[in-house]
Homo-oligomer: A and B are copies of this chain.
Amino acid sequence: MVCGLPGIGSVAWLAVNHLQKELKAELFAEVFSPMFSPKVWLTDDGVVNLMKGEFHFWKNKNGENDLLIFTANEQPYSPEGQYELAEVVLELAQKFNVTRVITMGGMATDKFTEQPKVYVGATDVEQVKELEGIGAVKLAGGAITGTNGLIFGLAKPKKMPAICLLAETPGYLSLDANAAKAALQLSSKLLNIPVDVGALEKQAKENSEAVQRAKDLSRAGFGHESKKGGEKELPYVS
């Protein structure tokens, strides 16, 4: 199962929505709850929708593991709601005999990078090593806040293997397709499910150009000096 709710840089949400669309995974369950914000939203047709979580299912034609995909419009607004949603997601995962839970997120670094690193934490050391083997960086210490972290952490007492992939993202981007691409590519490699990331790449390229334009303006005298390289930034993980 791959899970991603909106969070820092919308990394997880972008990655998981892209995955669902590329695989044409099918909606099979919805979660409505007072743990979401007290509001509704409308489609361009004027049709109402509740805030909700959605489970999509993808049948693997290669005979390997099928895939459950979970995402939501937003994170529950209350701490209890975040725990509650994480439990709901894991209970459904257990019913479907999910063999591994993959959650994602962004790690704010305050600087833009073309090749964001992807950090990994897991419910056991073996999985950390497995992920290091395919290019992830061990997340040594620190905290992961929010539902993406709780789905990951609550899997542990349920004895479900789980990992959390956190792609580097500058804190100032609200939709970081580049980081989403990095997190998704690592998941794709791990799951052995090829995913075309063209659309994310296109969006990431636009991001990159926008950042470049901002830098050019800065060099031309409009901005303040950037911090000297080599300084260790305090990571904020979400």
Docked complex Cα distance between A82 and B37 (Å) = 10
Among the 9-residue stretches A16-24, A47-55, A208-216, the one with 4 or more Cβ atoms under 8 Å from chain B is A47-55
A233 at interface, CB cutoff 8 A:
no
- Interface mask (A144-160 → B, CB under 8 Å = 1, otherwise 0): 11110110111011000
Which applies to chain A's interface (DSSP): helix, strand, loop or mixed? mixed
Docked complex Cα distance between A41 and B145 (Å) = 9
Which of B45, B78, B120 is close to A46, meaning CB atoms less than 8 Å apart? Answer: B120
Residues of B within 8 A of A67 (CB): none
Among the 9-residue stretches A57-65, A122-130, A179-187, A194-202, the one with 4 or more Cβ atoms under 8 Å from chain B is A122-130
Contact residues, A165-201 vs B (CB, 8 A) = none
Q: Are B48 and A153 in contact (CB under 8 A)?
A: yes
Among the 9-residue stretches A90-98, A133-141, A219-227, the one with 4 or more Cβ atoms under 8 Å from chain B is A133-141
- Interface mask (A10-49 → B, CB under 8 Å = 1, otherwise 0): 0000000000000000000010111101111111111111
Docked complex Cα distance between A156 and B122 (Å) = 39
Given A40-B150, A153-B48, A84:B34 Cβ within 8 A: yes
Docked complex Cα distance between A87 and B40 (Å) = 14
Q: Are B123 and A47 in contact (CB under 8 A)?
A: yes
* Shortest Cβ distance from residue A2 to the other chain B in the assembled complex, whole angstroms: 17
Residue from A45, A78, A139 having most chain B Cβ neighbours under 10 A = A45
In the complex, which residue of chain B has the Cβ closest to the Cβ of A119? Answer: B46
In the complex, which residue of chain B has the Cβ closest to the Cβ of A125? Answer: B45
Residues of B within 8 A of A156 (CB): 48-50
A231 at interface, CB cutoff 8 A:
no
Q: Are A79 and B82 in contact (CB under 8 A)?
A: no
Residues of B within 8 A of A46 (CB): 120-122, 125, 128, 138-140
Q: Are A150 and B38 in contact (CB under 8 A)?
A: yes
A68 at interface, CB cutoff 8 A:
no
Q: Are B145 and A38 in contact (CB under 8 A)?
A: yes
- Interface mask (A72-90 → B, CB under 8 Å = 1, otherwise 0): 0000011110111000000
Q: Are B82 and A143 in contact (CB under 8 A)?
A: no
| Chain A positions near chain B (C-beta within 8 angstroms) | 30, 32-35, 37-50, 77-80, 82-84, 120-125, 128, 138-147, 149-150, 152-154, 156-157, 162, 164
